[in-house]
Chains A and B, each alone.
Chain A
Amino acid sequence: DMKVTQMPRYLIKRMGENVLLECGQDMSHETMYWYRQDPGLGLQLIYISYDVDSNSEGDIPKGYRVSRKKREHFSLILDSAKTNQTSVYFCASSSGTGTLYFGSGTRLTVL
C-alpha cells in the first residue's frame, strides 16, 4: 500500500522554538518534496530532494532547512520558528513521472 506518512498532524510552537517535521514513504521513491499551503496561495515548494543528501531549494526556502539521510525519510526543520511560518505543511514523494503522492499534512501554528 503506497503511503506517505507525516508526523505530527498538529503542532503548536512558540516563536523562536525549533520545529522538526518528519515525513516517511514506503514506495522507495527517489524524489521527495516539502510544500506549504496557505489560503489563496496554493502549494509553494520549499525544498526538493532527489535522493539521500541531494537536496535543492524550492521557491521559498528561506527560514527552512531539510535533511535526508535515508531514501524513505525526509525532514523539514525550522530553526527559530516565526509567526509567519504558521501554515499547513505537506510532504510528497514521486517516482519521477510527475505524479506526487502527498502525506496528510502537518498544521503548524507558531504563537
Chain B
Amino acid sequence: GDSVTQTEGLVTLTKGLPVMLNCTYQTTYSPFLFWYVQHLNEAPKLLLKSSTDNKRTEHQGFYATLHKSSSSFHLQKSSVQLSDSALYFCALRDGGSNAKLTFGKGTKLSVKS
C-alpha cells in the first residue's frame, strides 16, 4: 500500500535560519503530494500541494518540489519565523484513488528566538 515517511520527528531552529523538512513516499500510482500544517490546538490546514514533476510550488514563504525520480517532496523555507512553529504533515493521494490521503507521522518544527 501507499506510505509516507517523514524522517524527523522534531526540528529545532533559531529564527532566521533556513529549514528543510523531509518527505518521501511510496505508491504504485501517479502521486499527488500535500503539506499540511497544524498549529497548537488547531486543525490541520493545507499549506501547499503538487502533482507536477520537477515544478516548485510555493505558499506563505514555504516551497516544495515534487521529484518523482526520488519519490520526494521536501518542504523548505529560507528564513523561519517564530510563527512557523507547528506540526507539519506530508500526505499522499495516489492517482488511482478513492480520495484516500495517507499522512506521514509529522515533523514538529520549533523555532526559537
Contacts and interface: CB of A to CB of B under 8 A. Distances in A.
Interface of A: 4, 31, 33, 35, 40-45, 48, 50, 56, 58, 90, 94, 96, 98-105
Nearest to B46: A99
Given A41-B105, A42-B103, A48-B99, A100 B46 contact: yes
B43 A40 contact: no
A21 B39 CA distance: 23
Given A42-B103, A42-B106, A98 B49 contact: yes
A40 B42 contact: no
Interface string B82-106: 0000000100010000111111111
Contacts of B49: 98-99
Contacts of B42: 104
Given A48-B99, A50-B99, A104-B43, A40 B105 contact: yes
B43 A105 contact: yes
Contacts of B43: 4, 90, 102-105
Contacts of B34: 98-99
29 contacts: A4-B43, A35-B103, A40-B9, A40-B105, A41-B105, A42-B105, A43-B89, A43-B103, A44-B103, A45-B100, A45-B101, A45-B102, A48-B98, A48-B99, A48-B100, A50-B98, A90-B43, A98-B32, A98-B34, A99-B34, A99-B46, A99-B49, A100-B46, A100-B101, A101-B45, A102-B43, A102-B45, A104-B42, A104-B43
Interface in B35-74: 36, 42-46, 49
A15 to B, nearest CB: 26
Nearest to B105: A42
Interface string B1-42: 000000001000000000000000000000010101000001
Contacts of B9: 40
Contacts of A44: 103
B45 A96 contact: no
A100 B32 CA distance: 13
Contacts of A102: 43-45
